[in-house]
């Protein structure tokens, strides 16, 4: 009974009392650390840390974590409809998306629903890697969602009704929007997935009030644009050159720079149609968020043949570098290396492998990988595998301890065999699918894993951002598609394909708690508070699970 009354009081305080008029201003988003009870963006803050300032749950008391509520999405747990969204929480109300594009508003204390919005979707939508959505952005009282059929929709956060709906790209050609949008100032920024369909990627900004497009940056430059000479001349390869946007970017307000990672070049596994470095695929681009103009770029994998999308959240850290403070960017890439870049200039500072890598024997002092392998007609065995050393699942950075945490697939390999490829509108444009002992998608319900450790396994790794040293790794028998959350009490929350959600001591990697969620974790955890009580939420299988300390 005591529990129920406490929750009741929290619900009263949370949903009814704390709501601020005018909704979520950009100033609130910019200073998200001032309201640790809320989670206002995909990564929790614009620096991509996925780090909560909340401290009620600690390595000492995490053993008392207890399930508070579960929200069932009502969609089947099909591999193609994974629950990849990170919820937002604003003043006691949780907003999240369910596969493929349902939006719900929930009482964050009880999981009970205020409203649900389900847009009609075009049957023409083509998605290579799941009919999924990774979440929402909010500004004022408007939520923003991209859809698998290429629309961007503004939704009234109070009543779940659409405010505007714009067609961003053509679904029948394989353009889909799966990324959680990013709000910078008065604009909503998004870009399409679809690098497996021969799309030409872009990042575009829309006026949050009207949906009018403000600018568009092509991740594959056309004739006359800088970087076009990294595509073959006299060919239309660039028009199908890929460069998708799969995950949300980050923003540095002092530099006024917007950062996004870009996806693989098309076609994925036969690079014959596209000799050249293929900018700006597999890159990080730094843009002026007011104009969309490119300020700098860094390409992690030039002329990629192994599907090594740079589909990671840019992690912006301020660390000491060779004796002086430096604004850097930490980036664990699908290609098996993790990088430190200067985020003001794009200068390459360091790149080290964090898994077994054989496609390059290192990275030279200019930041160019020393390539050793290419796809061949006979087949080439390559580490890491096609799914990569990590992928879209969020890493985390805890500035208190200076550690960078990566969800990792260890020692996986693929055989890439060059096969015929031809572009046909709306069809996949990839080449021959590589063999993998560890599949990209879980192939059915359940958590069966019969692999040997030599065929690949999963880990949460902790690296010292400054020294680059591996501090610890938490090994899992199966791989993980889970993002990582850190807290200011130095906890690390993550999960995996095995159906567990767990807490680690962020300094040592020691496991301090685990919960059985019975389904694959394929999303990032987040944390929020109502009244004095801290909660941690994670999507797993087709449900959202919310934990707090036992009272």
**Contact positions vs other proteins (CB under 8 A):** 4-5, 7-9, 11-12, 15-16, 19, 74-76, 92-93, 100-102, 105, 107, 109-110, 112-116, 118-123, 151, 153-154, 156, 158-159, 161-165, 167
Pairing outcome for strands 88-90 and 93-98: antiparallel
Q: How far is the CB of 74 from other proteins (least distance, A)?
A: 5
Q: How far is the CB of 208 from other proteins (least distance, A)?
A: 12
Nearer to other proteins, 171 or 483 (CB): 171
Query: 288 catalytic, yes or no?
Result: no
CA-CA-CA-CA torsion sign (521, 526, 529, 533): positive
Residue linked to tokens 């979707």: 121
Answer whether 408's CB lies under 8 Å from 461's CB. Answer: yes
Residue 551 to residue 408: CA distance in whole angstroms = 35
- The secondary structure of 522-541 as a DSSP string is -S--EEEEETTEEEEEEEET
Q: How far is the CB of 485 from other proteins (least distance, A)?
A: 25
Residue 119 to residue 102: CA distance in whole angstroms = 7
Nearer to other proteins, 152 or 257 (CB): 152
Find, among 11, 32, 234, 179, the residue nearest to 110 by Cα: 11
Token reading at 297? 């770029």
Answer whether 88's CB lies under 8 Å from 183's CB. Answer: no
Nearer to other proteins, 7 or 189 (CB): 7
CB atoms inside a 10 Å sphere around CB 19 = 13
Pairing outcome for strands 51-52 and 485-487: parallel
Nearer to other proteins, 119 or 468 (CB): 119
Q: How far is the CB of 133 from other proteins (least distance, A)?
A: 12
SS (H, E, C) 150-184: CEEEEEECCCCCEEEEEECCCHHHCCECCCCCEEE
Residue linked to tokens 């100033």: 27
Q: How far is the CB of 197 from other proteins (least distance, A)?
A: 19
Give me the phi and psi of 224, to 5 degrees please.
90, -15
Nearer to other proteins, 7 or 517 (CB): 7
Q: How far is the CB of 458 from other proteins (least distance, A)?
A: 31
Question: How far, CA to CA in Å, does 137 sit from each of 26, 247, 450, 452?
Answer: 11, 13, 39, 41
Nearer to other proteins, 121 or 128 (CB): 121
Token reading at 179? 């990324």
Nearer to other proteins, 145 or 357 (CB): 145
Nearer to other proteins, 171 or 346 (CB): 171
Token reading at 513? 């708690």
Helix ranges (H only) for 1-99 are 2-11, 26-30
Q: How far is the CB of 137 from other proteins (least distance, A)?
A: 17
Number of residues written out for the chain: 551
Answer whether 356's CB lies under 8 Å from 88's CB. Answer: no
Nearer to other proteins, 172 or 225 (CB): 172
Find, among 428, 117, 126, the residue nearest to 270 by Cα: 428
Q: How far is the CB of 546 from other proteins (least distance, A)?
A: 14
Residue 294 to residue 475: CA distance in whole angstroms = 39
Report the helix count and the strand count for the chain, using DSSP H and E.
2, 38
Give me the phi and psi of 432, to 5 degrees please.
-85, 135
Q: How far is the CB of 120 from other proteins (least distance, A)?
A: 4
From 307, 309, 411, 505, active-site residue:
307
- Residue positions annotated with a catalytic role: 307
């Amino acid at each position: 009974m005591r529990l129920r009354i406490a929750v009741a009081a929290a619900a009263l305080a949370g949903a009814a009392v704390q709501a601020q008029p005018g909704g979520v201003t950009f100033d609130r988003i910019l200073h998200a650390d001032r309201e640790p009870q809320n989670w206002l963006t995909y990564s929790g803050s614009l620096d991509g840390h996925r780090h909560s300032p909340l401290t009620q749950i600690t390595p000492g008391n995490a053993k008392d974590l207890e399930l508070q509520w579960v929200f069932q999405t009502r969609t089947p747990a099909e591999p193609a409809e994974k629950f990849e969204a990170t919820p937002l929480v604003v003043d006691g109300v949780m907003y999240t998306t369910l596969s493929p594009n349902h939006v719900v508003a929930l009482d964050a204390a009880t999981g009970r629903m205020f409203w649900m919005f389900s847009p009609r979707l075009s049957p023409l939508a083509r998605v290579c890697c799941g009919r999924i959505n990774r979440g929402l952005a909010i500004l004022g009282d408007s939520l923003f969602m991209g859809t698998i059929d290429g629309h961007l929709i503004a939704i009234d956060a109070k009543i779940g009704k659409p405010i505007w709906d714009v067609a961003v790209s053509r679904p029948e050609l394989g353009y889909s929007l799966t990324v959680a949008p990013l709000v910078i100032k008065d604009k909503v920024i998004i870009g399409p997935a679809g690098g497996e369909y021969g799309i030409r990627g872009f990042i575009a900004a829309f006026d949050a009030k009207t949906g009018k497009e403000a600018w568009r940056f092509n991740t594959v430059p056309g004739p006359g644009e800088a970087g076009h000479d990294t595509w073959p001349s006299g060919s239309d390869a660039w028009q199908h050159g890929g460069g998708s946007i799969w995950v949300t970017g980050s923003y540095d307000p002092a530099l006024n720079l917007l950062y996004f990672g870009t996806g693989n070049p098309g076609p994925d596994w036969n690079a014959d149609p596209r000799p050249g470095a293929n900018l700006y695929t597999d890159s990080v681009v730094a843009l002026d968020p007011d104009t969309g103009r490119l300020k700098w770029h860094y390409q992690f994998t030039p002329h990629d043949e192994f599907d090594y999308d740079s589909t990671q959240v840019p992690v912006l850290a301020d660390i000491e570098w060779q004796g002086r403070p430096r604004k850097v960017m930490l980036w664990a890439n699908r290609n098996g290396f993790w990088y430190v870049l200067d985020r003001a200039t794009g200068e390459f500072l360091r790149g080290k492998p964090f898994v077994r890598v054989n496609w390059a024997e290192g990275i030279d002092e200019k930041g160019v990988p020393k390539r050793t392998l290419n796809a061949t007609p006979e087949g080439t065995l390559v580490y890491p595998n096609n799914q990569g050393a990590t992928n879209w699942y969020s890493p985390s950075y805890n500035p208190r301890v200076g550690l960078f945490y990566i969800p990792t697939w260890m020692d996986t390999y693929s055989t890439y065999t060059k096969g015929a490829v031809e572009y046909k509108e709306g069809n996949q444009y990839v080449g021959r699918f590589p063999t993998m002992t560890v599949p990209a998608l879980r192939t059915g319900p359940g958590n069966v894993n019969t692999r040997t450790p030599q065929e690949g396994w999963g880990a949460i790794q902790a690296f010292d951002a400054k020294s680059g040293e591996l501090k610890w790794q938490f090994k899992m028998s199966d791989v993980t598609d889970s993002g990582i959350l850190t807290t200011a009490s130095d906890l690390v929350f993550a999960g995996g394909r095995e159906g567990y959600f767990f807490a680690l001591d962020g300094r040592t990697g020691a496991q301090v708690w685990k919960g059985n969620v019975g389904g694959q974790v394929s999303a990032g955890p987040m944390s929020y508070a109502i009244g004095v009580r801290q909660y941690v939420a994670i999507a797993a299988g087709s449900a959202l699970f919310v934990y707090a300390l036992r009272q």
